[in-house]
Structure 1
């Protein structure tokens, strides 16, 4: 079901024109824009970052390992899902992985910035894309599964976003989240990435439950690389003038392979049922009550 942003009327239709008030989203660059006023200069990120991300994601150990973890979680906890929405899909790297592994699934992606959607539409031509503010999701009980991967930390109103994701899911639908973890890891990298916060386990789990979800799985990941992260953050604080924002994307090829192998071992542990207590990021899987 769709929800009109102007009058909140809920309706079922192939198109977006509200039958109650006649409102419909703008069209920008061939894409439905539900929050056109922030399509070029919304908050929480910088549109000029998308081009660098699109160049680096496919080879970078962290993005590859996170994709493998997301795909496993989707298959494990929502095996019958037919309709999936990724909120804050960026350049479409996650959706491209899902499309390749689960070609029968109907995929939708949303992003506040049109700059990201131009890359995503090229990567996953089979998906449906829309420009959207995650604080105002125009769907009601529409999707079997919804994902938001490293999105919530960019948005001050994270609890409002979780409530919107809950609304967009069908009863019994599954929410998948990844967020950066441990406030004590805060550094120039977070500031460069336009993060509002890093989460504690208790913080993110409490907010997910308060939004109406039951937790199915909560585990840290990037656990084996936590010492390297701590060292990197310490060096950033000691020598802020040497901070290179591109360094975490363009890792030396040998280190990249070593780090990827370490995270594959972590993923094997998660598949076996291990929930790691610490790590640079946290995976949350929850069900709509």
Structure 2
């Protein structure tokens, strides 16, 4: 999760339609399989780790991000959260890379490095922005290197030595609107780097949440279109 977006949304991030919906999709894809220790790579504020510690049986989280000024520890829902600038091998059974791999030049190298740090059987839940043709000033603002198709992202996971368990697009319900804003001449985004994420009127926020909630039961079946790509994979 990018700290730039945390700065924009502030305390409202827990209620923002995008992050609420993404957290719900995360829980749905993970299912009921127990979670003991989370390794959250490029964690930023640790939003998704905090969410899983609060809403699942996950017991501990290690959040890794080079942007942290120093190593520290805290707790969420009475469970330990460790913030680290780097980490060696760790006995984590769930690895999160939530909108991380699009930020680095060598996405395969970074993913392989973390595959090597965890034991066999560890699950990887990963997201990236979808479709290069949707590139806009939002990507420039967040310093993205690329956007992905589902097929490209599944191939990346396999090349890193993972077995893909599920791959899907999400935010398909809002995809037509976002595509229109980015592609139509009268709505094309400005070329200057700026975030499209913002605080909405409560009614707008609620409507967008509802759209994404309706889509959620079909998440694992959506291989057609969306704003985000989700892949759940496992280290053999």
Q: Which of 124, 127, 135 is the aligned partner of 1:175?
A: 124
Q: Which runs of 5+ in 2 are unaligned?
A: none
| Cα distance, 1:258–1:144 mapped onto 2, change above 3 Å | same
Q: Which residue of 2 aligns with 1:198?
A: 147
Secondary structure of 1:170's counterpart equals coil
Q: Which residue of 1 aligns with 2:230?
A: 283
Alignment of 1:1-289 (within 5 A): 50-76=6-32, 79-114=33-68, 121=74, 126-132=80-86, 137-139=87-89, 142-234=91-183, 238=188, 240=190, 245=194, 247-270=196-219, 273-289=220-236
Work out the CA distance in 2 between the residues paired with 1:82 and 1:138. Answer: 18
| Cα distance, 1:184–1:247 mapped onto 2, change above 3 Å | closer
Secondary structure of 2:121's counterpart equals strand
Work out the CA distance in 1 between the residues paired with 2:58 and 2:168. Answer: 28
* 1:101 Cα offset (Å): 1.3
Secondary structure of 2:116's counterpart equals helix
Aligned-residue Cα RMSD (Å) equals 2.8
How many aligned positions are there?
234
* 1:81 Cα offset (Å): 2.8
Q: TM-score, normalised by structure 2?
A: 0.87
Higher RCO (C-alpha under 8 Å, 6+ residues apart) = 2
Structure of larger gyration radius: 1
* 1:276 Cα offset (Å): 3.5
Contact 2:53-2:76 at 8 Å conserved across structures: no
* 1:122 Cα offset (Å): 7.5
| Cα distance, 1:116–1:184 mapped onto 2, change above 3 Å | farther
Work out the CA distance in 2 between the residues paired with 1:93 and 1:239. Answer: 28
| Cα distance, 1:252–1:149 mapped onto 2, change above 3 Å | same
Q: Give CA deviations for 1:39-58 in whole Å, capped at 9, x if unaligned.
A: xxxxxx7x665433443421
Q: Which residue of 2 aligns with 1:10?
A: none
Secondary structure of 1:70's counterpart equals helix
Q: TM-score, normalised by structure 1?
A: 0.72
